[in-house]
Chains A and B, each alone.
Chain A
Amino acid sequence: MTGLTRGSARPNQWLRNLNAKIASIPMILTAVVIFLGGTLWTVVYSFTNSKLLPRLSFVGLDQYERLWAAPRWIVSIQNLAIFGFFSLVFSLVIGFVLAALMDQKIRFENTFRTIMLYPFALSFIVTGLVWQWLLNPQYGVQSIIRSLGWESFSFDPLYDADIVIYGILIAALWQGTGLVMCLMLAGLRGIDEDIWKAARVDGIPMWKTYVLIIIPMMRGVIITTLVIIASGIVKVYDLVVAQTSGGPGIASEVPAKYVYDYMFLAQNLGQGFAASTMMLLTVAIIIVPWAYLEFGGGRKRG
């Protein structure tokens, strides 16, 4: 973009693309004031003893000490870790396998794609309620199988504290894999047909082509998918509220729910802010090194 001078006068650097700059002012302001400003405000107030209304009386790290001593927060973190790990692995694997199957030039592909993507059109609350009924021992899967003759069949994950988080995971996967599949399918379609032909000529088996050639070539799509899934994991809240409201007991609590409950139900903003700052920190720990590798270091890849 050099040497695009109009007339003889050297144009001011700041005035170049003036229209575009003016047009982006609202978005820049939004980003700086709302996102960055709000984040900083939250972090600052997490060091205060704000109750129902924010007030600036600093108490140091008290809120954080209390947070990490609270059994409910620990359970929330463990749940998030289990939920995060499995939903990342399963939605990627299932999504990719579905996409690969879909890519075999099957009939009615559009129909299948629509069916798979349909759950994604539902809100988490609806998904949660549907699965709450499906997994309810009195109305759902368990009662249907029992009415077919297996009297001893027992399947009530939402009422068993040890496995309740997997009951939530099932609903999350049901909703989320369709989108992953579509993204992956788009990635697969973006791969040049010639590569497949070349692989076939060389006699490379199909699974090997996928694992060694196609997947590495889909790096961009996979990273996009990862970011979408990961952000969905950290903010999981409505699904839990709709399915179990954190129960039985506190067995399916998640961090976002802790933040909400302490900010609004317990009227303890400081505690809620401390918890949300910890969530931000978790995300930062994962995102920053990755972003550095991906965009930093001056080296461009892919």
Chain B
Amino acid sequence: MKLRSLAGALAATVALPFGAANATDLEVTHWWTSGGEAAAVAELAKAFDATGNKWVDGAIAGSGGTARPIMISRITGGDPMGATQFNHGRQAEELVEAGLMRDLTDVAEREHWRDIVKPSSLLDSCTIEGKIYCAPVNIHSWQWLWLSNAAFEQAGVAVPKNWDEFVAAAPALEKAGIIPLALGGQPWQAAGAFDVLMVAIAGKDVFEQVFAKKDEDVAAGPEIAKVFKAADDARRMSKGSNVQDWNQATNLVITGKAGGQIMGDWAQGEFQVAGKKAGVDYTCLPGLGVNEVISTGGDAFYFPLLDDEEKSKAQEVLASTLLKPETQVAFNLKKGSLPVRGDVDLAAANDCMRKGLDILAKGNVIQGTDQLLSPDSQKQKEDLFSEFFANPSMTPEDAQKRFAQIIADAD
């Protein structure tokens, strides 16, 4: 008897916290762990906590490549989190097809996502068979060249205005003991840099023919050969940057040890955390200063299907919080990315973000490779380019042949 009442009392104390407060804990996994990223994600948590729920942070360190397998195995293994980040596009495609993800169409219709999300391709990437499965939170574009003004001053050359000037300035930088181009060793960085070169040098149409239409003849053709020539230059210029992570490479630029880096606009957050000012301490060239086109990949939150009704409700709250104008502004300013809605005011945006917003407003956008290619093709491409950038004996012609083969096999 005594034991039973004790057990009852214990059960009551366990149940109490759930019953008393109607706050629901929602675990959110993501891979935003560098300085600028962590500051940005704290804004999301703040906004969600303000709705009376609780954001349980599930940061997974080590970039998307490490985090995604953990997220996927948790979802497929029957231990889903409340919400999780993916790059929107094809990364979660099969999880949706297997019925493991939650349909957000109701929330999206209630809040008119169709009207507010710009460009609309972001929402298209969330849509599978007419239903919306993710909430886009930002637009990240890859096509940026970040330059350290201090490094060029030290080398005694003017800060380049485009890729060709940058290549021409490389010998002067080298003479001053500066690595011209910082490139981290992680495979996705090499593959991403190549995609950027492709848009800048061969242009938007070629990019779309290769990655969207998967035209292998174009991939093997003379336009892409020019891109491989440029990649060959980049390979020579990146020699000596013995770092792994992208933010370490960005740090080389911030500290003036490297001249520049081809990296997405998330690098901007690092410059901000380091207290650097756009236009004064560093310069950014969208589309490498050649072809001002930006890709509109980015991050989105997906919501696994949960049995718990409370949590399902909290998921809806989170989804709508993510797209609120205030959240969008606070988050994207810290993150260095662009908001997904065209109607918010980014008065505090800096020089570089303004350039990005202008290009976005002009509609010079392409889809990101995450949206166009399957993770399988992406990985093959990463293997190819990490080999190409590390191995000077691999000729651009050989690499192009293999590249065309990957495009031919892409699904």
Contact = CB atoms under 8 A, between A and B. Distances in A.
Interface string A39-80: 000000000000111000000000000100011100000000
Contacts of A53: 76, 94, 98
A137 B242 contact: yes
A266 B387 contact: no
Interface in B367-392: 374-376, 378-380, 383, 386-391
B395 interface: no
Chain B interface mostly: helix
Nearest to A249: B390
B279 interface: no
A267 B94 contact: yes
Given A53-B76, A266-B380, A248 B68 contact: no
A52 B186 contact: no
A267 B383 contact: no
A264 B69 contact: yes
B61 interface: no
Contacts of A248: 185, 390-391
B255 interface: no
A268 interface: yes
Given A247-B185, A262-B379, A161 B94 contact: no
A266 B390 contact: no
B244 interface: yes
Contacts of B386: 246-247, 249-250
Contacts of B375: 265-268
Nearest to B390: A249
B52 interface: no
Interface in B59-116: 65, 68-69, 72-73, 76, 91, 93-95, 98
B95 A52 contact: yes
Nearest to A164: B390
A244 B244 CA distance: 9
Given A159-B242, A244-B185, A248-B185, 4 more contacts: A261-B379, A265-B68, A265-B69, A271-B376
A92 B189 CA distance: 40
B374 A267 contact: yes
Contacts of A52: 72, 93-95
Specify the main secondary structure of chain A where it touches its partner: loop
B374 A251 contact: no
Contact of B244 (A245, A251, A266): A245
Interface in A239-283: 244-251, 261-262, 264-268, 271
27 contacts: A51-B374, A52-B72, A52-B94, A52-B95, A53-B98, A70-B383, A72-B387, A136-B242, A137-B242, A161-B390, A161-B391, A247-B386, A247-B390, A248-B185, A249-B387, A250-B383, A262-B376, A262-B379, A264-B69, A264-B73, A265-B65, A265-B375, A266-B380, A267-B91, A267-B94, A267-B375, A268-B375
Query: Which of A248, A261, A264, A267 lies at the interface centre, i.e. has the most chain B CB atoms within 10 A of its CB?
Result: A267
A249 B390 CA distance: 5
A190 B390 CA distance: 51
B392 to A, nearest CB: 9
A136 B242 CA distance: 9
A59 to B, nearest CB: 12
A60 B376 CA distance: 19
B72 A266 contact: no
B246 to A, nearest CB: 13
A53 B375 CA distance: 13
B132 to A, nearest CB: 20
B69 A249 contact: no
A66 B376 CA distance: 12
B380 to A, nearest CB: 7
Contact of A266 (B98, B376, B391): B376
Interface string B163-188: 00000000000000000000001110
Contacts of A71: 383, 387, 402
Nearest to B384: A71
Nearest to A267: B375
A154 interface: no
A24 interface: no
A266 B94 CA distance: 12
Interface in A102-138: 136-138
Which 8 pairs from chain A and chain B are nearest by CB?
A249-B390, A266-B379, A264-B69, A52-B94, A248-B390, A249-B387, A267-B375, A268-B376
Given A72-B387, A249-B386, A266 B95 contact: no
Nearest to B242: A159
A268 B410 CA distance: 13
A226 B391 CA distance: 35
Nearest to A159: B242
A51 B94 contact: yes
Contacts of A251: 390-391
Contacts of B91: 267
A249 B391 contact: yes
B192 to A, nearest CB: 15
Contacts of A138: 242
Contact of B72 (A70, A244, A264): A264
A244 B91 CA distance: 26
Given A245-B185, A249-B387, A267 B242 contact: no
A244 B386 CA distance: 13
A250 B72 CA distance: 25
Contacts of B378: 266
Contacts of B72: 52, 264, 267
A137 to B, nearest CB: 7
Nearest to B90: A267
Nearest to A260: B69
A248 B239 CA distance: 11
A262 B91 CA distance: 14
Candidate in B72, B244, B375 with the most chain A CB atoms within 10 angstroms: B375
Contacts of A247: 185, 244, 386, 390
Interface in A150-177: 159, 161
Nearest to B65: A265
Contacts of B73: 264
